[in-house]
Amino acid sequence: MKSFLQTEDWLNFQRSIGRPVWRFDDGKIVANIVRHDIPFRKNYLYIPHGPAVDWNSIEGSFNHELNHFISYVKNLAREQKSIFVKMEPLDDKVPEQLHHLPRGGGIRKSKKEINPAKTVILELGKNEEELLAAMHHKTRYNIKVAEKNNVIIEESDEIEIFYKMLKKTSGRQKFSTHGKGYYEKLFEFFKSGKEIKSNLRVVKYENRPIAAALLLNYQDVCYYLHGGSDYEYRNVMAPHALHWSIVKEMNSRGIKFYDFGGSEGSKWPGITRFKLSWGGRQVEYPGSFDLPVRRFWFFVYNVARKIL
């Protein structure tokens, strides 16, 4: 599956929120490159879910093609006075090949991930009975509980509600979020999109919003980007009603996969158990890799990250 993070639409969104962007595309290697500014007027270049390499189209040496790409990103990083280039490819072969390049310049595994290396993907294209049968029995039970509580799922454009639910959950589960303005801009930018389309779902109980989810659709995948719920109403089982509603709708629309997003048992055990309980498979990507460009500042950056 091609990631929406490697589309020109995503690059245009990053540009719209003020980040300098570039796109490398020679027909064989594609990489969206986004500059992330950090304190003390420093920055690094970030390649989300990339680079993406079409190995079948590379007729000659892999090394020649990858060296050309590495030269490009290193020169760009020098121009931008970037400390390093961070890559998070989806293909295991990419870091494997880069490690062997003389010009790879010491690419190294990083513990700091921007996008989680693990996700849970539920394959659709089945009838409802099959989808239910693949779930954990407790998930099926909780869906029934939510239905008995007569929760209502609505399509919405109220980012304020979504953000309130997100902050409640992030506080409980100890994960970081963007500011409200980021989600407002993302939702508006893709609301009427053609290649990537955003939509927001809200669960209401007794006319009170108690859960919400922000989704992106790209090609045959629906991505659950972010969401949250009100713990005070946990017995209503709103998240189960919410995701079951999304799964049924996407399935009826011919969407092939529902991507639940980040799932790391050691960091977010409750969230990971919930996502795995829907019968999907956990997919693990290679992770995050850093290519140092300004080595002294790269050292300082990593020391500061450990201290702060």
Read off the pLDDT of residues 192-225 as tens digits, 9 standing for 90 and up.
Answer: 888 999 999 999 999 999 999 999 999 999 999 9
Distance between CA atoms of residues 24 and 42, nearest Å: 22
Q: What is the mean pLDDT of residues 151-174?
A: 93
Structure tokens given for 101 = 């390049």
Please classify residue 291 by burial: count the beta carbons closer than 10 Å to its beta carbon, then call 0-12 exposed, 13-18 middle and 19+ buried.
buried
Q: What is the CA radius of gyration of the chain?
A: 21
Which pLDDT value is given to residue 105? 59
Distance between CA atoms of residues 285 and 125, nearest Å: 24
Identify whether the C-beta of residue 190 lies closer than 8 Å to the C-beta of residue 13: yes
Length of the chain: 308
- The CA-atom distances, in angstroms, between 214 and each of 39, 224, 243, 273, 288 are 29, 6, 11, 20, 25
Nearest to 263 by CA among 149, 159, 113, 154: 113
Which pLDDT value is given to residue 62? 74
- pLDDT-based confidence at residue 7 (cuts at 50, 70, 90): very high
Q: Which residue has the tokens 């799932």?
A: 263
Q: Which residue has the tokens 């407790």?
A: 138
Q: Which residue has the tokens 């929120």?
A: 17
* Weakest mean pLDDT among 232-236, 276-280, 299-303: 299-303
- The CA-atom distances, in angstroms, between 74 and each of 67, 141, 269 are 10, 53, 38
The alpha carbon of residue 297 and the mean position of all alpha carbons in its chain are separated, in whole angstroms, by 28
| DSSP symbol at 39 | T
| DSSP symbol at 191 | H
- pLDDT-based confidence at residue 103 (cuts at 50, 70, 90): low
Q: What is the mean pLDDT of residues 162-179?
A: 91
Dump pLDDT digits (tens) for 283-294. Answer: 999 999 999 999
Domains of the chain: 4-116+286-307 (3.40.630.30), 118-284 (3.40.630.30)
Which pLDDT value is given to residue 58? 80
Identify the bridge partners of residue 214 per DSSP, sorted by sequence position.
200, 226
Question: Does 189 have pLDDT greater than 90?
Answer: yes
Q: Which residue has the tokens 């027909």?
A: 27
- Average pLDDT, rounded, for the chain: 94
Q: What is the mean pLDDT of residues 176-205?
A: 95
Percentage of the chain lying above the pLDDT 90 cut: 83
For the CA atoms of 117, 122, 123, 125, the dihedral, rounded to the nearest 10 degrees, stands at: -150
